[in-house]
Chain A
């Protein structure tokens, strides 16, 4: 079966073509790229000058499977991801039981294949039971298909264990992803330390808690010469630390989230403590938001990730201080980033921004997956089509995700994914919407 995608501006993962071209997809692979390709019985989609990109990759999502399927499961999550324009996601292992063994990795891969949404690649825990005490079976999980190791939800509690994991995983080609948080500084914290903690008395979560853990990880990476990835970096201090480490030539990378790029702590006050804004790490200051965009511009940031963290309404739609932390955004995150980027007056080149959804995160995955971030003949046909002019209202009631509380619900955003292909299968198509 073949699909012909006609008349698209093509972003190949690095650069943006100036003329409209066609892409022919055959048997799940990009067969040809060129102008005026023959239809030859292919299913034809005229993209009318829209932007064709490598399938978007989100290396940080919570699909709550196994154990918390009322919040999300692999099927709803994978479909939500495809609806949000993603062709590949990496699930976090803070489930019940935690993903700390090859059997659970294989279970998630199998469920993901059946889901009919984005490709689901599991991460595994660094430590058994995510307890931060004993090393999990990293080698066996890597063999089964785990693409990242992390105790996300928490940092790796013990520095010695983190160092051991960095050393042990070096030959596995699977990266350690650290959730940077120094727990003694964040116990019982609910909001950023600053205006909101001062005015509400809720315990503040200082920027130091993030940078202390990043500095710890950098020191261990330097000592072991092993790569480390810091996820959802939210502060100016945090990105500064990563920037310095990169300058030093260390194998240190990081990602940032759409919510930390678009929202700040004032949202909590303006909304009169709406729990939708409660997240870990917390929404920071306007200055931090600006610093994250600067870190994108100068290449400090390697990827944009959603940290999609769905909850059931009965758990999340409660008073702020009692609500769990987490923002569910995977079905509008691309639009959130594009809309913010447009409103800020395009602070970075479009190609560069798009690389953070494609070639950037792909480079952080194990070798077999690294080609996912590129459009070229012979590559897997994972494709995301963007319409930068589309203006649409976020409506959680249309979501495939089980989450129904979202900071952007009801907002008009500009710049939406309109088509997602995974291995040549159309997993989302909104080309006809609004025409």
Chain B
């Protein structure tokens, strides 16, 4: 397949065939991770700038490892202590980076639409969305597809229950889009106050009872609950949340016996997920982290490297 994407802003324009092809590429990359010398020269001489305007550890490290394994030159440009705090506009910042010769910008930002904006402003460099506000986190969706597929095989026709704070979650938005493209039926559950107004427009169903969502599911996806939600008055207490929507052994028992239990991390043990579930036999949570490096390698390789 000839790879036609230069950027990854959102998975909206990706076809199911492209996702299949992409996941196969990610399989090769994962094999590479098992080698004693985890480095190939695919992106030698390419400069990638990681621009993280919002705190992130796992996504930034995951991208950085992927870049280094492919031999790209990596610069971490952190927003604090840099020119943005001196009042420089984002436009000027990215033009500066491009003038320095960046081939790609990996961006994480708290505001919706920043990767779109950068891709319109940059003349040449690729843009990879590492999370924009509540809007999207497409590499998370790719890694989730990759690890779900490892556990379950073909995803077409599978049932997924996504439980938690969908309203504030970019992971939820990207995953709903990606899993639906692969033929997965997604059912949401969680407090109605943490759901978007118009879940129908996302092509998913909502049920308030977590047990109903979990029954017979092949994938149980638990989203992070931030403590601010209680302060915002959207849930009465963390304890009540855990009892009604938390991942407990009895909830997982309702799902298909070989169901994959997933979580984007970092986990709040005892809040949205009990330790016995996080560390239990159905959990693929560490596999997700590993897939993260593999899919980011595949992404950089296809969009920047040998394939183009």
Which of B16-24, B193-201, B236-244, B284-292 is found at the contact surface with chain A? B193-201
CA distance A194 to B198 in the complex (A): 6
Let me know if A321 and B196 touch, CB within 8 A.
Answer: no
CA distance A195 to B170 in the complex (A): 15
Let me know if A197 and B197 touch, CB within 8 A.
Answer: yes
Let me know if A201 and B133 touch, CB within 8 A.
Answer: yes
Counting contact residues on chain A (CB < 8 A from B), the size range is 20 to 34
For residue A200, which residue of chain B has the nearest CB?
B135
Q: Which of A203-235 contact B (CB under 8 A)?
A: 204, 206
B134 at the binding interface (Cβ < 8 Å): yes
For residue B110, which residue of chain A has the nearest CB?
A321
Chain A residues whose C-beta falls within 8 Å of the C-beta of B120 in the assembled complex: 272
**B40 CB → nearest A CB, Å:** 33
Q: Which of B97-118 contact A (CB under 8 A)?
A: 109-114, 116-117
B167 at the binding interface (Cβ < 8 Å): yes
Let me know if B202 and A194 touch, CB within 8 A.
Answer: no
Selected contact of B134 from candidates A193, A202, A314, A319, CB within 8 Å: A202
Let me know if B116 and A273 touch, CB within 8 A.
Answer: yes
Let me know if B112 and A194 touch, CB within 8 A.
Answer: no
**A189 CB → nearest B CB, Å:** 12
**A93 CB → nearest B CB, Å:** 29
CA distance A273 to B135 in the complex (A): 11
**B106 CB → nearest A CB, Å:** 16
B140 at the binding interface (Cβ < 8 Å): no
Let me know if B112 and A320 touch, CB within 8 A.
Answer: yes
Let me know if B113 and A273 touch, CB within 8 A.
Answer: yes
Q: Which of B122-147 contact A (CB under 8 A)?
A: 133-135
Let me know if A320 and B117 touch, CB within 8 A.
Answer: yes
CA distance A201 to B195 in the complex (A): 10
A198 at the binding interface (Cβ < 8 Å): yes
**B299 CB → nearest A CB, Å:** 19
A297 at the binding interface (Cβ < 8 Å): no
Chain B residues whose C-beta falls within 8 Å of the C-beta of A314 in the assembled complex: 89
Chain B residues whose C-beta falls within 8 Å of the C-beta of A321 in the assembled complex: 110-114, 133
Chain B residues whose C-beta falls within 8 Å of the C-beta of A194 in the assembled complex: 197-198, 201
Selected contact of A319 from candidates B112, B170, B196, CB within 8 Å: B112
Let me know if A198 and B197 touch, CB within 8 A.
Answer: yes
CA distance A272 to B9 in the complex (A): 10
Selected contact of A272 from candidates B109, B116, B201, CB within 8 Å: B116
Selected contact of A201 from candidates B9, B90, B91, B135, CB within 8 Å: B135
Let me know if A198 and B202 touch, CB within 8 A.
Answer: yes
Selected contact of B112 from candidates A198, A204, A273, A318, CB within 8 Å: A273
Let me know if A201 and B197 touch, CB within 8 A.
Answer: no
**A409 CB → nearest B CB, Å:** 14
CA distance A397 to B110 in the complex (A): 32
Chain B residues whose C-beta falls within 8 Å of the C-beta of A137 in the assembled complex: none
CA distance A16 to B168 in the complex (A): 54
**A300 CB → nearest B CB, Å:** 26
**B288 CB → nearest A CB, Å:** 21
Let me know if B117 and A198 touch, CB within 8 A.
Answer: no
Q: Which of B252-282 contact A (CB under 8 A)?
A: none
A317 at the binding interface (Cβ < 8 Å): yes
B169 at the binding interface (Cβ < 8 Å): yes
CA distance A200 to B120 in the complex (A): 19
Let me know if B111 and A320 touch, CB within 8 A.
Answer: yes
CA distance A385 to B109 in the complex (A): 49
Chain B residues whose C-beta falls within 8 Å of the C-beta of A318 in the assembled complex: 89-91, 117
Chain B contact residues: helix, strand, loop or mixed: loop
Let me know if B170 and A201 touch, CB within 8 A.
Answer: yes
CA distance A311 to B199 in the complex (A): 34
Let me know if B135 and A202 touch, CB within 8 A.
Answer: yes
For residue A204, which residue of chain B has the nearest CB?
B197
CA distance A178 to B133 in the complex (A): 33
CA distance A97 to B89 in the complex (A): 27
| CB contact under 8 A between A201 and B117, given known A273-B112, A319-B109, A321-B112 | no
| CB contact under 8 A between A202 and B198, given known A314-B89, A321-B112 | no
Let me know if A201 and B173 touch, CB within 8 A.
Answer: yes
Let me know if B113 and A201 touch, CB within 8 A.
Answer: no
A199 at the binding interface (Cβ < 8 Å): yes
Chain A residues whose C-beta falls within 8 Å of the C-beta of B91 in the assembled complex: 317-318
Chain A residues whose C-beta falls within 8 Å of the C-beta of B198 in the assembled complex: 193-195, 197-198
A322 at the binding interface (Cβ < 8 Å): yes
CA distance A425 to B306 in the complex (A): 67
Let me know if A200 and B134 touch, CB within 8 A.
Answer: yes
| CB contact under 8 A between A319 and B117, given known A198-B196, A199-B173, A200-B112 | yes
Chain B residues whose C-beta falls within 8 Å of the C-beta of A195 in the assembled complex: 198, 201
CA distance A275 to B202 in the complex (A): 23
Q: Which of A111-139 contact B (CB under 8 A)?
A: none
| CB contact under 8 A between A201 and B167, given known A195-B198, A317-B91 | yes
CA distance A145 to B37 in the complex (A): 80
CA distance A235 to B137 in the complex (A): 32
Chain B residues whose C-beta falls within 8 Å of the C-beta of A197 in the assembled complex: 196-198
Selected contact of B113 from candidates A204, A206, A319, CB within 8 Å: A319
CA distance A231 to B17 in the complex (A): 50
**A70 CB → nearest B CB, Å:** 15
**B196 CB → nearest A CB, Å:** 4
Q: Which of A169-210 contact B (CB under 8 A)?
A: 190, 193-195, 197-202, 204, 206
CA distance A185 to B201 in the complex (A): 22
CA distance A77 to B113 in the complex (A): 30
Let me know if A202 and B112 touch, CB within 8 A.
Answer: yes
Let me know if A200 and B117 touch, CB within 8 A.
Answer: no
Let me know if B117 and A273 touch, CB within 8 A.
Answer: yes
For residue A278, which residue of chain B has the nearest CB?
B113
Chain A residues whose C-beta falls within 8 Å of the C-beta of B199 in the assembled complex: 198
Let me know if A319 and B111 touch, CB within 8 A.
Answer: yes
Chain A residues whose C-beta falls within 8 Å of the C-beta of B168 in the assembled complex: 201
Chain B residues whose C-beta falls within 8 Å of the C-beta of A322 in the assembled complex: 111
| CB contact under 8 A between A319 and B89, given known A193-B197, A198-B201, A199-B173 | no
Known: A319-B114, A320-B113. 9 other contacts (CB 8 A): A197-B198, A200-B134, A201-B170, A202-B112, A202-B135, A318-B117, A319-B113, A321-B112, A322-B111
21 inter-chain pairs at a CB distance below 8 angstroms, sorted by A residue, are: A194-B201, A198-B196, A198-B201, A200-B134, A201-B134, A201-B135, A201-B170, A201-B196, A202-B133, A202-B135, A272-B113, A273-B116, A273-B117, A275-B117, A317-B91, A318-B89, A319-B117, A320-B112, A321-B110, A321-B111, A321-B133
5 closest residue pairs by CB, A with B: A201-B134, A273-B113, A321-B111, A198-B196, A320-B113
